[in-house]
Structure 1
Amino acid sequence: MATIEQLYQTLSERRRPEDVAQIVIELTADGLTTEERLLLEKAAKGSLARNVFGYTSMLQVFAEAKGAGKQITKAIEIFKLDDNGKSDYNNQKDIADFINFVSPMIHKTVGKNDFKTDRLNKSQRKESGLDLSKRNYNKKWRLLTRIEKKLLKFIREGKKNEFQKIAKHGLAHTITFEDFSSDLNTACFIAYYNSRCNLRSVFTNQSQERPFDEISDILLKRCTGEESNFLDVLRKDKTVKPNSTNWWAISHIYTGQLVLSNLTDEQKGTLLGKWTTVLQDIAELLDEVWTASNINRETMVVRRGNDSTTWNNTAGAWNKARDNWMNLIYSLGLDYILEEICFGKVLRLMAADVVAWHFSTGGKLDPNTEVWNKIPLPWEVFQNKAQCNKELVVQYCEQAGIDPEKSGWIAPRVHGVAEFKPTPELVHGVTVANPFLATVLKRHRYYSGKNAKPLYPESN
């Protein structure tokens, strides 16, 4: 039988909506209305648990940054240190503590990593009391340098992975178990909507599937008390209190005006502060990637040398954070702020073949690109190098033939309710009918943009 702990675990995973719907049914079976059950069954019938050969080729977890465990294990051996096993070298603080502890042993200054100018020469080593050969000293010095570089890479990769999660589901992965488990209706909506948000993008020349579907809608209505006969006496998990929707927890993944209207101004202010900080952090990485890449701002079509994966994940995080920020300032009645500062959206890079496909079917360049081309870059606004306000954005939207409000440039975006559709098995965005076949195609690099290996290589 499924438990609330298992449902909570899905927040840090990329489980298919079908599989999360199955857990929701198991937890709420006795309290579902006929309509609720029919809708949830629509998804759950495709869960892996209900299929004899249930299998998916798609990873069900987010990528995680790899720490300095390998390098530090080697350093412990070379420096002949005692490893108490209490440190976690997939943790930024523990890696930094190790560097700060070991570096003084060879009189190395942390951060000074130039091989020509920052090492000690023979006389300096003697003066420092280091009884080490040049070879031994260099070996240890180089290893510590590599660990420092690994730490910097680990921090950067950690940021990229964090922003990928934010791009998908906002702050869902930061919700505490205490808040999540305080109400079962709350938990079910968050977990299912989270799984919908985490769906992968499909290779298409049309818009992507919207995450808020008919099942998300009915689960949110349960939180408001609509269309729900969920009774505590019938519920199997007795640790969850009845009729105590935790709107604070929901607001970390969904900031519709209904949700925000159930928060206090203090809670909304706290959330606004969180999202403003997130925007600032994302802007720093966008600036870094933009500076290092030769991105064609006029078309936003990928070309050689662009780090499209990092850019698109980070741009997605920016737009998600910006949407939440916009929802909150309107809910707080602070939309007058836009008269002074109105951050623009950030466009993703598009693959050339998708753009060509789009044009071949009668499409044209997204008019949002025209607005993006004219307004100041978001990180420049944060750095006080440029100003961008509502009046400027409205002006450029009108020139591009875009409604500035409905398009989300100056107001919260309004979404509809999508119909539930089974999760496709994807290989680099391309739908494949069979998950086993998808695994084979991935292994042979089909649809990856890299040199594919033939499924049946010719024998010599």
Structure 2
Amino acid sequence: MAQLIQDLFNAQRTEIDPTAAAALDKAAEHSLRSLWHGYTSMLEDFARPVGAQRQLARVASLFESVPELPSDAGDDPARIEAAIRRAGEEIRREYGENDFGMDRLNRAERAEAGVGEMSKRQYNKRFRLLRRMEAKLARVVHEQRRREVTVTGKGALAHTLPYELFAADPGTAAFIAYLTARANMRSVFTNGRQRRPYDEVADALFQRLRAEPERTDWYAIAHVHPTAEVLGHVPDDDLIRLLVRWNHFLREVAELLEDAWNRCRLERTTMIVRPGNDSSTWNQAAQAWSTARAHWFALLTELGEEEILDRVCPGKVPRLMAADVAYWHRMSGGGLHPDTYVWADLPLPWEVLRGEADCPRSLVEAVCRRHGVDPVAGGWTGPRPAAEAVRFRRTPELVHGVAVADPLMASALRSAGVFSGQGKRAAAQEWL
């Protein structure tokens, strides 16, 4: 990303101050264009749901009323549902009638409905297909929703910015792109803190914006970097628009968290993964909740609506921790993070948002004091203080969270099953 920003500034003949130029040079030294192998083993996009293209093609071949659809229709829930409904009309099946014993038509009912010429076998084939299509549609919707939560949890609302707004000012675009790229990096297997996105390169780019505030699109930056300084440049109408979006997103994430919670109750007092826990879904949703909550708090504070927190102050949601990481913490003299104890003593966030449980700011402050946590500095009752820029470090090649030397070794280790914990020990030992 640093290399692309340099290319952009050169193409735009944009003047770069020495500090920003030095920071970009430092980061661009490690771009793929500068490395001898010129590639990375890391995925460069978030996993996308498998669409219903194959099922739609099958529907078009069995139902005369359904035309062949373009390939992108398989990723559009509305078009998938429309195809299911249209095909259902052909065999007189209502959408949602999926009970194979109760909802199928017998011979007399098929004759009465005008599909008596169709054999029982052909009718059952079509009924089964539409039933499977509805199940597939539900999976597509769920996975798309989960991907949206994952992307937003990492990069906030950067992906929702219209291109015209994003690209109106090169400096604004450079800062948003770099900070989002940093935020999108995968987590590292560690018993310490993850690397913060806001590093010395991001800070240098931000200082350029601060020097030219009249050219900067602060509303666009507020989508990803809601500090008090940034929000102070944004009109109240735009702040309210962002607040409404984050309100809606918080409720969506709360539903996903509740669903993961109900499918397999977690060990709330430790947040250590147990067999059967869907840790991937929970951790993605927990990160999204943290991001949305931080933006929500910052916007409420800037709008002067902090009294809302006196009535409704939903707590933070910790990620699930692998047992080996928890053991690593204990062996290195640490233990559970104090936030885990606070989380365990507060009402569940989805119950708070639905009004089923009271969680005012006074309760959160009392629980924090009981466990020796600063409610303000810890981000429990308000926005966190603006983070200071951290030192730039190159993006590592990771194999299941473990940093390795280069992408060739990463590919070999990954194929051998090293660090996966999935029972590929024989392959790993043979490779080693």
Query: Cα deviations across residues 41-86 of structure 1 (Å, max 9, x unaligned)?
Result: 1100000011232121000011111211111111111224432548
- In the alignment, what sits opposite 2:21? 37
1:447 equivalent among 408, 419, 431: 419
Which one-letter code corresponds to 1:157 in the other structure? E
Partner of 2:60: 76
Question: In structure 2, how many angstroms separate the alpha carbons of the residues matched to 1:319 and 1:104?
Answer: 45
1:328 is the counterpart of 2:299 = yes
Alignment of 1:59-74 (within 5 A): 59-74=43-58
Contact 2:257 2:282 (C-alpha < 8 Å) held by counterparts: yes
Report the AA paired with residue 54 of structure 1.
G
- Residue 340 (structure 1) aligns with: 311
Deviates more, 1:31-40 or 1:331-340: 31-40
Give the partner amino acid of 2:349: P
Superposition deviation, residue 100 in structure 1:
1.6
Higher relative contact order (CA 8 A, sep 6+): 1
Aligned residue for 1:301, secondary structure, equals: coil
CA contact (8 A) 1:87 1:94 kept: no
**Maintained 8 Å contact 2:418/2:428:** no
Q: Structure 1: which amino acid aligns with 2:103?
A: D
Which SS does the other structure have where 2:196 is aligned? Answer: coil
1:140 aligns with 2:126: yes
Distance 1:96 1:84, change over 3 A: closer
CA contact (8 A) 1:427 1:438 kept: yes
Q: 1:86 to 1:56 in 2, by over 3 A?
A: closer
- Taking structure 1 as reference, are residues 157 and 87 closer, same or farther at Cα in structure 2, changes over 3 Å only? closer
Aligned to 1:234: none
Aligned partner of 1:110 among 91, 95, 101: 95
- Aligned equivalent of 1:283, options 254, 261, 268: 254
The equivalent residue for 1:374 is 345
Residue 22 in structure 1 maps to residue 7 in structure 2? no
One-letter amino acid matched to 2:248: T
Alpha-carbon distance, 1:93 to partner: 1.2
Question: Which residue in 1 is equivalent to 2:331?
Answer: 360
Task: Give, as a single letter, the amino acid of the residue that structure 1 aligns with 2:154.
Answer: K
Cα–Cα, structure 1 residues 443 and 87, in superposed 2: closer, same or farther, change >3 Å?
A: closer
Secondary structure of the corresponding residue to residue 302 of structure 1: coil
Q: In the alignment, residue 56 of structure 2 is paired with which amino acid?
A: I
Give the direction of change, closer, same or farther, for the CA distance of 1:44–1:410 in structure 2 (3 Å limit). same
Q: Secondary structure in 1 aligned to 2:73?
A: coil
Quote how far apart the aligned CAs of 1:143 are.
Answer: 0.3
**Structure 1: runs of 5+ lacking an equivalent:** 1-19, 227-241
Cα-Cα RMSD: 1.5
In the other structure, the counterpart of 1:428 is 400
Q: How far 1:441 moved relative to its partner?
A: 1.6
1:387 aligns with 2:358: yes
Output the CA distance in 2 between the equivalents of 1:224 and 1:182.
Answer: 17
- Give the conservation status (yes or no) of the 8 Å contact 1:315–1:348: yes
Q: Distance in 2 between matches of 1:366 and 1:267?
A: 36
Conserved? CA contact 2:56–2:69, under 8 Å? no
Match for residue 13 of structure 1?
none
How far does residue 439 in structure 1 lie from its aligned partner after superposition?
1.1
Matched-pair contact (CA < 8 Å) for 2:84–2:134: yes
Percent identity between matched residues is: 42
> Equivalent residue for 1:58?
42
Correspondent of 1:249 among 220, 230, 252: 220
Greater mean alpha carbon deviation, residues 93-102 or residues 268-277:
93-102
What is the deviation of 1:294? 2.5
SS at match of 2:75: coil
Task: With the length of structure 2 as denominator, give the TM-score of the two structures.
Answer: 0.95
Deviation of the 1:442 alpha carbon: 1.6
Aligned residues: 424
Query: What is the rounded CA distance, in whole Å, between the counterparts of 1:204 and 1:215 in structure 2?
Result: 24
Deviation at 1:35, TM superposition (A): 1.8
CA contact (8 A) 1:294 1:305 kept: no
What amino acid is aligned across from residue 164 of structure 2 in structure 1? E
The equivalences for 1:3-22 within 5 A come to: 20-22=1-3
Q: What is the distance in 1 between the residues matched to 2:280 and 2:166? A: 31
Report whether the alignment pairs 1:171 with 2:143.
no
Q: What displacement does 1:445 show?
A: 2.4
CA distance in 2, matches of 1:194, 1:86: 30
> CA offset at residue 129 of structure 1?
1.1
